Amino acid sequence: MTAAVVRARTRSPLSLALRRTGRSWSGRAGALILLLVLLAGLCAPLLAALEGQDPHAFHGDLVDGNNGGNPFGSFGGVSGAHWFGAEPGTGRDLFALVVYGIRTTVLIAIAATVISVIIGTTIGMAMGYLGGWFEATLGRFVDFMFGFPTLLFLIALQLIVPASIPKPVVLTVVLAAFGWVGTARLIHTQTRQLAAREFIDAARASGTPLHRVFVSELLPNLVGTLAVVVALSFPATVAVSAGLSFLGVGLDPSSPDLGVLIGQSITWTYTGADAGYLIVPSIALLLIILGATLLGDALRDAFDVRTEGAR
């Protein structure tokens, strides 16, 4: 029998799962929200140009120096020229700041997620496939890292990082360095199940080189898990990255970033004056996290991956 005869119309498990995701309510809503916010971030320069503003320009004329630097006008100085109003104190354009802020936050989170997922997948696969003392030792380490006060050490690390390295790079690297643990745990469990299957035995017996087993035998079977891992670790990374900038130990206070903006809005929130400055970046941040979480939940249901072990 030749291959051509049996080529019936079948769908791969991957495309079936993606279809299931696309049909679910949370999958659609999540993907839509995420897409819109990501687009806004990636097209930040375009959007700001469309509004005719730029995020770095100070507008002293927009804020009331006699009133603690609050913007003139209602809703934080919303007008035709400044769609979301102005930043208190400096008078920078809030719309431009927010779209550029989304861009910074999202790009850092994407980079950190990609790196941490690659590290976590490699370690998880190696643990599950190689087994033995390697698995036992690393397993202990991963278990330990899982309950680790990561946030405290992310903050502490800021002290010893040389000032010559750009802050976004530092942030990306430290986020990735601590972010891979959940991925490794999940991939490890899945690989261990796969490693016991016959096709892996066959590959091993026929002398397939290790990297080939990883890339062409294991990896295609982990695609579903990977999709879930990415969709769930991305929002977590966004939250931590914005959180660090919020605490003042992430990006520089002058860079347009959602975490920085929200952190700076504390002062203005305490004066009880300008709510818009807090609410606009907050909604943007919330939408990114919510969208990715919704999509992640839908993917998890569709691929039927259990993630209890890795929050």
- 195 and 217 in contact (C-beta within 8 Å)? no
Among 23, 153, 166, 220, binds other proteins (CB under 8 A): 153
Question: Which neighbouring-strand residues pair with 70?
Answer: 64
Q: How far is the CB of 272 from other proteins (least distance, A)?
A: 4
- Measured from the CB atom, the residue of 31 and 125 that comes closer to other proteins is 31
Rounded Cα gap, residues 303 and 55, in angstroms? 41
Residue of the chain from 64, 204, 247, 307 that contacts other proteins (CB under 8 A): 247
Q: Work out whether 290 is an interface residue with other proteins (CB under 8 A).
A: yes
Token representation of residue 127: 């643990």
Give me the 131-150 binding string for other proteins, x by CB under 8 A, dash otherwise.
Answer: -------------x--xxxx
267 contacts other proteins (rule: CB under 8 A): no
Q: Which residue has the tokens 């990306």?
A: 172
Binding mask 160-189 for other proteins (x = CB under 8 A): x-x---------------------------
Q: Is 246 in the site for other proteins (CB under 8 A)?
A: yes
For the chain, the C-alpha Rg in angstroms (whole number) is 23
Q: What token pair was written down for 146?
A: 């899982």
Structure-block tokens of residue 243: 């959180």
Residues facing residue 86 across a β-bridge: 93
> How many angstroms separate the CA atoms of 228 and 310, rounded?
11
> Of residues 76-105, which lie at the interface with other proteins (CB under 8 A)?
none
Spatial distance between the Cα atoms of 123 and 135, rounded to a whole number of angstroms? 9
Amino acid letter, 150: T
Query: Which helix (H) or strand (E) is 130 found in, with range?
Result: helix 94-130
Q: How far is the CB of 151 from other proteins (least distance, A)?
A: 4
CB 208 within 8 A of CB 145: no
Pick the binder of other proteins from 76, 224, 235, 256 (CB under 8 A).
Answer: 235
**Quick one: which of 128, 250, 265, 300 contacts other proteins (CB under 8 A)?**
265
- Tell me which stretch binds other proteins (CB under 8 A): 50-58, 103-111, 157-165, 195-203: 157-165
Q: Which positions lie near other proteins, rule CB under 8 A?
A: 144, 147-153, 155-156, 158-160, 162, 235, 239, 242-243, 246-249, 262, 265-266, 269-270, 272, 275, 278-279, 282, 285-286, 289-290, 293-294, 297
